[in-house]
Amino acid sequence: MTATPDLGTARLAAPDLLRSAFRRHAAGVAVITADGDSGPVGFTATSLTSVSVEPPLVSFGIGVGASSWPAIAKTEHVGIHILGDHQSELAATFARSGADRFGAPTAWREGPEGVPVLDDVLAWLVCRVVGRVPAGDHRIVLAEVVLGDPSGTGRPLLYHQGRFNGLRD
């Protein structure tokens, strides 16, 4: 059953309209990491997208006001981590402003190209940044996959209605 649009309740485009609409869109959860001048940086992203298979390209968005942006703005490589439904606390840590994202209990190691690689994720990729495209108050980062490991087990973590959730049957 589909709802008939009620054009009488339509609202003009504004940040609140976009946020409200996208709270209804379930998205996979990833953590993006990089090696910054003062150590590792990272943030939770729900904007991760597969762009191309040949060459293998992905994209993600980041706000220019984000604490991780200065490192992402100049790094050559990023780590992309697809989270499992057992990692809602990890996702929350990397989403929280001012959190010690790489302190205990976060388990990670330095990976290829100096990229921080998180443990126990469904999949991780190390990618070479090939472009940063201005998009309003964000940048869309294009990155070419260099290597990774997709062998983690479990179900994906999703973000929906402002909460981290597991996938249900």
The string of DSSP letters for 93-128 reads HHHSTT--TTSTT--EEE-GGG-EEESS-SEEEEEE
- Within 10 angstroms of residue 25's Cβ, the number of other Cβ atoms is 10
The pTM is what? 0.90
Q: Residue 15: what pLDDT?
A: 78
Q: Residue 121: what pLDDT?
A: 98
Taking the C-alpha atoms of residue 145 and residue 148, their distance in angstroms, rounded to an integer, is: 8
pLDDT less than 50: residues of the chain: none
Q: Residue 1: what pLDDT?
A: 52
Q: Residue 167: what pLDDT?
A: 81
Q: Residue 3: what pLDDT?
A: 64
